[in-house]
Amino acid sequence: MSERLDVKKTYKLLVNGAFPRSESGRSYPVMSAGGDFLANVAQGSRKDLRDAVVAARSAQSKWWAASAYNRGQVLYRWAEMAESRGAELAEHVRVAEGLAAKDARASVARAIDRLVWYAGWTDKVAQVLGGANPVAGPFFNFSLPAPSGVVAVVADQDSSLEGFVECVAAPICVGNAVVAIASERRPTPAITLAEMTVTSDLPAGVLNVVSGVTSELAPHLVVHEDVDGVDLTGAGAAGDDLARRAAASIKRVYRPRDDENPLRRLRSFVETSTVWHTIGQ
């Protein structure tokens, strides 16, 4: 009886619903929290980011055109997928973050619950963030939230799954498409969760995940002219510089604060569009 040999997985990028290796052909070794070799993960390049932005731009209009009800169901479906592979995710989180198994399972549970939370927001955002405005004149005037468009995410470096969910689910739930740079040292939980979008009816390109070296990738992504907003959660000390670069095309910039208002992430990548319509006979 020879022992069965494991089938090891290659961790690749998620771009436009497909799993390319980086066009650069590069990969980098990812270690567990304990310092053991885990995998060679695709090391994305500037070109991969550009491809991802193109995919995101094209997917965003489709995603936003779907009904809010439908978007909620898709996100809920993603949560279902994650739940059914919860043990696998927990193992990834445990190894990546060096947690006890119990704590890793709890982290995954919280991440999935957040996905469900965001799934429920899709058809409430307009009511909570929008409204009717009683202007002094014969006009029907209403304000509706609309997505900023394409949001670049520098995902949380430490919280490999929960942090990632927070960074990507908030902009996606309000109708944006996302290009996320996964945690550099701990990318496998995010990559695994992102794989599940392909079986969740999330249109290809709504979530794109590029793994690699954050300090190499982020400066390119935040100045891309077709990116509308930037979440710098995982940018660390480079955040100030990246925020300044993002000013070149007046991008919306989100940076985490200590006393976080639970809706600020949602609001950060939502535009208010106000329509005045005449009233008359």
Partner 1 sequence: MTDLTLSSRLGALPYDPAPESATLAHLRQSYGLFVNGEFTAPESHEQFASLNPATEEPLASVAMASPLDVDRAVVAARRAYDKVWSKTTGTERAKYLFRIARLIQERARELAVVETLDNGKPIRESRDVDVPLAAAHFFYYAGWADKLEHAGFGPNPRPVGVAGQIIPWNFPLLMAAWKLAPALAAGNTCVLKPAETTPLSALVLAEILQQADLPEGVVNIVTGDGTTGAALVDHPGVDKIAFTGSTDVGRLIQERAGSAKRLTLELGGKGANIVFEDAPIDEVVEGIIDGIFFNQGHVCCAGSRLLVQESVADEVLRRLLRRVDQLRVGDPLDKNTDVGAINSSAQLDRIRELTSWGEREGATRYTSSCALPDKGYWFAPTVFADVSQSHRIAREEIFGPVLSVLTFRTPEEAVAKANNSKYGLACGVWSEKGSRTLWVAQRLRAGVIWANTYNKFDPTSPFGGVRESGFGREGGRHGLEAYLDV
User: Contact positions toward partner 1, by CB under 8 A?
Assistant: 128-129, 131, 133-137, 139, 141, 143, 146, 148-149, 228, 232, 239-240, 243-244, 246-250, 252-253, 255, 261, 263-264, 267, 271-278
Judged by beta carbon, residue 40 or residue 70, the one nearer partner 1 is 70
Nearest distance from C-beta of residue 160 to partner 1, angstroms: 24
Nearest distance from C-beta of residue 136 to partner 1, angstroms: 6
* Phi and psi angles of residue 42, each rounded to the nearest 5 degrees, phi first: -55, 135
Buried b (16+ CB within 10 A) or exposed e, 183-221: bbebbbbbbbbbbbbeebebbbbbbbbbbbebeebbebb
Nearest distance from C-beta of residue 263 to partner 1, angstroms: 8
Judged by beta carbon, residue 167 or residue 232, the one nearer partner 1 is 232
37-42 vs 27-31, strand pairing mode: antiparallel
* Cα distances (Å, whole numbers) of residue 93 to 32, 39, 271: 10, 14, 34
- The Cα–Cα gap between 206 and 197 comes to 9
Q: Which two tokens stand for residue 67?
A: 């009904």
Nearest distance from C-beta of residue 112 to partner 1, angstroms: 25
* Cα distances (Å, whole numbers) of residue 102 to 88, 99, 232, 254: 13, 8, 30, 32
Judged by beta carbon, residue 83 or residue 241, the one nearer partner 1 is 241
Nearest distance from C-beta of residue 171 to partner 1, angstroms: 15
Judged by beta carbon, residue 34 or residue 280, the one nearer partner 1 is 280
Judged by beta carbon, residue 215 or residue 249, the one nearer partner 1 is 249
Burial of 238 (0-12, 13-18, 19+ CB in 10 A): middle
- The Cα–Cα gap between 4 and 109 comes to 31
Q: 215 CB contacts (<8 Å, ≥6 apart)?
A: 238
Nearest distance from C-beta of residue 219 to partner 1, angstroms: 15
Nearest distance from C-beta of residue 14 to partner 1, angstroms: 27
- The Cα–Cα gap between 279 and 281 comes to 7
Judged by beta carbon, residue 145 or residue 187, the one nearer partner 1 is 145
Judged by beta carbon, residue 30 or residue 155, the one nearer partner 1 is 155
Amino acid at 187: P
